[in-house]
Amino acid sequence: MSTNGDRAFPTPSVRRLPIYLSLLRRLYRDGLESVSSTKIADELGLTGIQVRKDLSMTGIVGRPKVGHSISELIEHIEGFLGWDKRRQAFLVGAGHLGAALLGYKGFAQENLDIIASFDTSPEKIGKVILGRMTYDLAEFVAMTKKHHVQMAILTVPASCAQDVTNLMVDAGIIGIWNFAPVQLSAPPHIIIENVSLSSSLAILSQKLTQREAQTRGKSEEKS
Amino acid sequence: MSTNGDRAFPTPSVRRLPIYLSLLRRLYRDGLESVSSTKIADELGLTGIQVRKDLSMTGIVGRPKVGHSISELIEHIEGFLGWDKRRQAFLVGAGHLGAALLGYKGFAQENLDIIASFDTSPEKIGKVILGRMTYDLAEFVAMTKKHHVQMAILTVPASCAQDVTNLMVDAGIIGIWNFAPVQLSAPPHIIIENVSLSSSLAILSQKLTQREAQTRGKSEEKS
């Protein structure tokens, strides 16, 4: 028995794969058939070593002189990410952010299909938002089991995010894409990926604040 | 002259600060006045050492026996992040994601005020979306200079993200919060923070795909 399947790949490398895909698709549209890792590195401001390491993670064998076939690279990366197969997901929380994700066109390329959304608000239940029906959250468990859905997108307020997470776990959801600004607790077999707008804003605000303090310091020195 | 202002703080620590804030505000609402770093660590599943390191970054002096005053902690963290002062920002790209950010209530607590949005689409220009006027992108440079805005949120399609970035730089924007799925080029003094939905989805999809392969492997072994 191989234990390879248990291996956790480095997060920064996996995060870079969509950026490679985006570049490779552009080069392919421009009529190119092959590309070297050095060229990829130059285009993306990375080192050649980093690019070769990232690509080899997906099972691609390097070809130093010839370069890689672009269509093969795309195929490998998509396969590694599971973007070569259609994945169905439910969305819980049909507010502004939920609607934005329902309307996000980029997911088509990533083969993500948000098939329905759920909410507890009587004004939203039964409404079709951007082509997807909004169901009563009370139907979530039954619907998840019926459609064998394994992934759910969480766009509810922080205050009810943990309760909805518990419901998702009970329903058999395995992967939760969490947009609520809260740390969720879940059994270890559940995969949680957080998109924290607050954390991202914190990084930007802190740097801007620091920059402003420097600028003030410099102008005080001059005066 | 101090060079302290040039110091880059560790990204994972800065990313955790909003999570501390959220916990501290809850404890404060519950009537608590002080808290130890050990209690914070327990609540958030971190180590005490990590919490003490993160908090000391904001300039808080540890008080081992007494614990920290919660209101002082909140003040320090907010000050460090610049969330104690109102920050104005412009948003460019009034599509679904742009509207979601205009409607996101969490930003009030972070003192971020998106004062207007910009677009090139004639159907959107002149419309008020969630209380904010949508202006013609052609007015961006003049408006940015007039209102001394330093931060902009980029929610345009990938294909025009670089052109809009160039415009932002010309207008004097210093901090760009980028939601477009593309690596932007900008002069070194520009602060760019990327929210990459594709990269986050890549992490979740890859783990789900790996899990499914394992499950298939195990059921094949059994049969």
* Residue A197 near residue A181 (C-beta atoms within 8 A): yes
Sole residue written with tokens 């089991």: A145
Q: Give yes or no for B193 touching A (CB within 8 A).
A: yes
The 10s digit of each residue's pLDDT in B20-64 is: 998 999 999 999 999 999 999 998 889 999 999 999 999 888 776
pLDDT in tens, A76-110: 999 999 999 999 999 999 988 898 898 887 788 89
Minimum-distance CB partner of B200 among A9, A195, A201: A195
Q: Does A215 touch chain B (CB under 8 A)?
A: no
pLDDT tens digit sequence for B111-148 = 999 999 999 999 999 999 989 999 999 999 999 999 99
Which of A30-34, A178-182, B104-108 shows the highest mean pLDDT?
Answer: A30-34
Phi, psi of A210 (to 5 degrees): -65, -45
Supply the mean pLDDT for chain A.
91
Instruction: Give CA–CA dist A103/A105, Å, rounded.
Output: 6
Of residues A5, A45, A183, nearest to B213 (C-beta): A5
| Res B1 pLDDT > 70 | no
Task: Write down the pLDDT at residue A223.
Answer: 60
Q: Contact, B46 vs B64, CB < 8 A?
A: no
**E strand or H helix at A151, and its extent?**
strand A151-154
Contact call for A81 and B209, based on CB within 8 A: yes
How confident is residue A2, by pLDDT bands cut at 50, 70 and 90?
very low
Residue A5 has pLDDT above 90, yes or no: no
B159-188 residues touching A, CB cutoff 8 A: 174-175, 177, 181-183
Residue pLDDT, tens place only, A169-204: 999 999 999 998 788 999 999 999 999 888 999 999
Q: Do A200 and B195 touch (CB under 8 A)?
A: yes
**pLDDT score, position B196:** 85
Handedness of CA B207, B209, B211, B213 (dihedral sign): negative
Query: Is the minimum CB–CB distance between B135 and chain A shorter than 8 Å?
Result: no
Query: Of B17, B175, B206, which is closest to A82 when you measure between CB atoms?
Result: B206
Torsion angles phi and psi, residue A63, rounded to 5: -130, 85
Q: Which of A44, A208, A217 sits opposite B175 (nearest CB)?
A: A208
Of the partner residues B82, B97, B150, the one whose CB lies closest to the CB of residue A206: B82
Q: Scan residues 95-134 of A and list those with Cβ closer than 8 Å to B.
A: 95-97, 99-104, 106-107, 110, 112, 130
The pLDDT value recorded for residue B5 is 52
Closest chain B residue to the Cα of A192, Cα to Cα:
B204
Q: Supply the ipTM of this predicted assembly.
A: 0.90
CB spacing of B204 vs A193 below 8 angstroms: yes
Q: How confident is the model at residue A222 (pLDDT cuts 50, 70, 90)?
A: low
Spatial separation of the C-alpha atoms in residues B136 and B140, rounded to whole Å = 7
- The percentage of residues in chain A with a pLDDT greater than 70, rounded to a whole number, is 96
pLDDT score, position B223: 59
